[in-house]
Copies of this chain bind each other. A is one copy, B any other.
Amino acid sequence: MAQDLVLYGYWRSSAAYRVRIALNLKGLAYESRPIHLVRDGGEQHAPDYQALNPQELVPCLVDGGQVFTQSMAIIEYLDETRPAPPLLPADPAGRARVRALAQLLACDVHPLGNLRVLQYLGAQFQADDAVKGTWSRHWIAEGFRALEMMLAGHVATGRFCHGDTPTLADACLVPQFYNAVRWKLPLDDYPTIRRIHEACSELEAFRRAAPEAQADAPAPAA
């Protein structure tokens, strides 16, 4: 059963990173098939992959022949079909809070810093790396400001975003944090986010999902 799970991803894709975290938290084995987003104009645009995911984006999960797209939808699917351990709380208000924290990042932060958007800014607005960095930091800072308020000011925040076990929200927080570091966003103003990121980083499930731990990551510079 578990070996039927195939994940098409890319080492540095935030959305694929989220799904890797969820698979690891649930202890699910899966076959990883890397899709290189830059080489040869982007392997995600090849007809074979487009047939799997017409959006030509990663990730894409295949489970026993059925194809699933969109990282949050994939994680909810895994949570419904492999319930232990749960990645969403049991009560509707708690579930809504976890989903809102996840969507704050997955809807209002991450898509703005996605590769295809940065490519468009370069092509249409002649944005160089410095301008792309300013753009990326602006939207991450905007999201992190709100996320910090929602985490620091809420009684349900625990060791993780919601309570003392990791949820869908943490699976979105850690990849976005990785991006924030990559773009050199100063993180002093987000103590709760940093604390939760640290708690996640202590878990093997998060460490094994990290971009640099993937087979398709480039070798570190000597």
Contact check, A93 vs B66: say whether CB atoms are below 8 A apart.
yes
Q: Give 1 or 0 for each of A137-150: 1 = CB within 8 Å of chain B CB.
A: 01000110110011
* Interface pair A100/B54, CB less than 8 Å apart: no
Instruction: List A residues 24-80 near B (Cβ within 8 Å).
Output: 54-57, 66, 68-70, 72-74, 76-77, 80
Asked whether, in the complex, the Cβ of B146 is within 8 Å of the Cβ of A70, the reply is: no
Docked CA distance A56–B145 (Å):
11
Q: Specify the chain B residue showing the minimal Cβ separation from A103.
A: B70
CA distance A57 to B150 in the complex (A): 14
Which of the residues B104, B112, B124, B134 comes within 8 Å of A55, measured between beta carbons? B104
Tell yes or no: A158 within 8 A of B by CB: no
- Chain B residues with Cβ under 8 A from A12's Cβ? none
Q: Which residues of B contact A80 (CB under 8 A)?
A: 92, 95
Determine the residue in chain B with the shortest Cβ distance to A107. B107
**Residue ID in chain B nearest A92 by CB atoms:** B80
A117 within 8 A of B: yes
What are 7 A-B contacts defined by CB distance under 8 Å?
A: A55-B143, A56-B146, A66-B93, A72-B107, A73-B96, A77-B95, A112-B117
The 10 nearest A-B residue pairs measured at CB = A73-B99, A54-B149, A77-B96, A70-B100, A70-B103, A54-B146, A55-B146, A73-B100, A80-B92, A125-B125
